[in-house]
Amino acid sequence: MSRPSEENIALQEVGQNPDRYRIIFEQCDFNQDGYISVRELVHFLSSDTERCRGLKKNNVRRIHKMADLNGDHSLDFHEFVELMERQDFKDIAGKYFAWYVHTLIPHSQPEAQRARGFRLHSYSTSYEEEEKTLDYSCCPPPIFMVLISALEFALFITDELTQTDSTLTGSGATGKYLLWDPAKKSEFWRYVTYMFVHIGYQHIIVNLIVQIILGVPLEMVNRSWKILHLYFLGGITGCLAHAIIDGNTRLGGASGGVYALLTAHLAQVIMNWKNVTAPFIQFSLFGILIVCDLGTSAYQRYYLNVFTSVGVTCHVGGAVAGFLVGIYTLRNIEITKAEKYFWWIALFLYIILMVVLIVLNVIRY
């Protein structure tokens, strides 16, 4: 079979002529044995950073497995064509093969311009939408925020059922053992477990809603262990800050971890500014929300001397920790030279912050 002229064409036009698929197939088949292995497909897509921008190896393996109809771990030309014709594959990977067809196959400049115009007209899905489809994954499922929220709710219900209205004072069966208490600083587990106990219905409802709405998407982009790491470091940092500045009052609730999630989202927007949807709007909305909430609480507590149940220093500590930990922990799609410095600066500042807080707590103890 003679090879057709290698001109630049739109992906839809490729589907109308199997010979066009042969061009792509032969490029993927590096050893020219008539089959495409997983390694060959991964190598082909990763050999050019622009070709598979944001496409993970696990996605490539899933695509290969999806197309391997006979289970021999290799794709013949028939299976390759079947893969290219599948609508669900086109939805998640069409951009990458379309880019290849439009860009890598030699073509004249006028033809390239015409093809690009056709492609933009034919594909209504934007690059950001396709990248989110690839980057946001439910496999493995984002279970950490769901499980931690369920645990916090279960402890709240346990206290309320065993002692009516104990959740209003933190005096329930779990609250008295888990809340951070200035009279029991030697019980070091309280610097973590205080996050599981909430005081009042509004307190737990707001925290659970925010951490589910914001935490689950973060977990879908990043691994669950990263969100666990960030959530608990935010809570611990908040408790250490509270113990130093407002150490005469008990502390309960996951607000330190919740604020860590809020500011971590800001960190991820900053570090992926070109790869998120409406970054300025997201940054502005979350920034205004955080500043207004913390500012109002701090103004009432420290300027007007109005006593409230809000742990302002815990919120601030969690917010600072979430931002710094978010910069060096959460996923960064395109790492620039400046962002590498930000990464090290954030890590260094967080280590210094933790050392200072721990030392001051030891001195006060």
**Taking the domain 144-364, which CATH number applies?**
1.20.1540.10
Nearest-5° Cα angle at 146, 282 to 159: 115
Shortest CA distance to 208 belongs to which of 285, 153, 159? 153
Q: Taking the model in full, what pTM does it have?
A: 0.63
Q: In this predicted structure, what is the pLDDT of residue 324?
A: 96
Q: Where in the chain is the domain with CATH 1.10.238.10?
A: 11-135
Please state, in angstroms and rounded to a whole number, the distance separating the CA atoms of residues 360 and 362: 5
Shortest CA distance to 135 belongs to which of 275, 342, 339, 283? 275
Q: Are residues 190 and 175 in contact, defined by beta-carbon separation less than 8 angstroms? A: no
Please state, in angstroms and rounded to a whole number, the distance separating the CA atoms of residues 290 and 234: 15
338-351: per-residue pLDDT in tens? 888 999 999 999 99
Q: Which two tokens stand for residue 6?
A: 């290698």
Q: What is the mean pLDDT of the chain?
A: 77
Position of tokens 């490729």? 14
Q: Which two tokens stand for residue 93?
A: 């990977």
Q: In this predicted structure, what is the pLDDT of residue 56?
A: 61
Q: Which two tokens stand for residue 355?
A: 């050392």
Say whether pLDDT at 1 is over 80: no
202-211: per-residue pLDDT in tens? 899 999 999 9
Check residue 255 and report its DSSP letter.
Answer: H
260-269: per-residue pLDDT in tens? 999 998 998 8
Maximum Cα–Cα distance across the chain: 85
Please state, in angstroms and rounded to a whole number, the distance separating the CA atoms of residues 242 and 157: 26
Shortest CA distance to 210 belongs to which of 165, 148, 156, 164? 148
Average pLDDT over residues 347-356: 96
Shortest CA distance to 198 belongs to which of 179, 224, 216? 179
Average pLDDT over residues 314-335: 91
Lowest mean pLDDT among 15-19, 67-71, 276-280: 15-19
Question: pLDDT class for 67, splitting at 50, 70, 90?
Answer: confident
Q: Does domain 11-135 have CATH number 3.40.50.2300?
A: no
Check residue 36 and report its DSSP letter.
Answer: E
Query: Which residue stretches of the chain are H helix?
Result: 11-15, 18-28, 38-46, 57-67, 77-85, 87-103, 109-122, 127-135, 144-162, 175-178, 190-193, 201-221, 224-245, 255-271, 279-298, 312-329, 337-364
Please state, in angstroms and rounded to a whole number, the distance separating the CA atoms of residues 99 and 107: 13
Per-position DSSP letters for 48-82, written without gaps between them = STTTTTT--HHHHHHHHHHH-TTSSSEE-HHHHHH
Cis peptide leading into residue 140 (ω within 30°): yes
With the C-alpha atoms ordered 346, 347, 352, 355, is the resulting torsion angle positive or negative? positive
Question: pLDDT class for 241, splitting at 50, 70, 90?
Answer: very high
Q: Are residues 234 and 259 in contact, defined by beta-carbon separation less than 8 angstroms? A: yes
Q: Where in the chain is the domain with CATH 1.20.1540.10?
A: 144-364
